[in-house]
Amino acid sequence: MFISIFFMLTTAISFASVSREQRALLAIVDLAEEASSTKWMYRLEGKAAVNRIERLIGESYSKKIIHKKKEATLENFLNSLKSLLGDESVQKIDVIIYIHGKNPDSPYGAAVCFVGTACTPVDYLSTQIRNLSPENSHKLRMLYSDACWGQYHMNAWLDAGFRVVNGSLGVDANHSADLRRFLKQWSRGETYETGIEKANSFWLTPLVDRVIGEANSIKLMAGEIQLTIDSE
């Protein structure tokens, strides 16, 4: 009897877990292409973000797509997401957004800024994502965003189909420090909530935010915050 119960429990656990071979990661990384005098600084930040993604969680996914610099276009993002949604070997898709963001007061409204085009309103982007492959929308899992004013993007990401998302309260001045702290937790199997809380606890954040002036890099969360990298 004990053996039978143990077998059922372990079987249930295995069914509720997503293996590395079933996971895909899509990251869009660029802050420099649309910048002017600060291009060099943003380029260094983007390079650091890519390095951290590859080093900290790259091995945790069987499929990994990182669009960086001039490749960080809306077209590439949507095409890659559609390809992963249609891939039968992929069961769950996680996304990292590392591009500029706008708040509702901007000329674009609440938006994210891909390379080579005007900033894209997040409500429009949400619709585009939903229309890519409605029958496979269940594959969308977590989205991590370092875009400024991300709190105004969260509902759109959830409406697009992602199950757990985050967004900064204001201008995100943390560079890739909070990304590094989140990725370490996520790759170790900690919950999304734990990862964001770790990112928010970086001691330098309030100091940098104060220097920038209008910045507030603290990130809110919404959705299924107990999800982990192994979650079904």
Three-class SS of residue 164? strand
Helix 192-200 and helix 177-187: axis angle, to 10°? 150
pLDDT at 7: 36
**CB-based burial, 170-195: b 16+ in 10 Å, e otherwise:** bbbbbbbbbbbbbbbbbbeebbbbbb
Instruction: Kindly list the domain boundaries of the chain, sorted by start residue.
Output: 23-223
pLDDT at 16: 64
pLDDT at 205: 78
pLDDT at 66: 98
pLDDT at 152: 98
Which positions ≥6 away from 221 have C-beta within 8 Å? 164, 165, 166, 192, 193, 196
Model pTM?
0.91
pLDDT at 57: 94
pLDDT at 33: 83
What CATH number has the domain spanning 23-223? 3.40.50.1460
pLDDT along the chain (232 residues), means of 10: 39 64 98 81 92 95 97 98 98 97 97 96 98 97 97 98 97 88 97 97 80 87 98 96
Are the beta carbons of 62 and 22 closer than 8 angstroms? yes
pLDDT at 11: 37
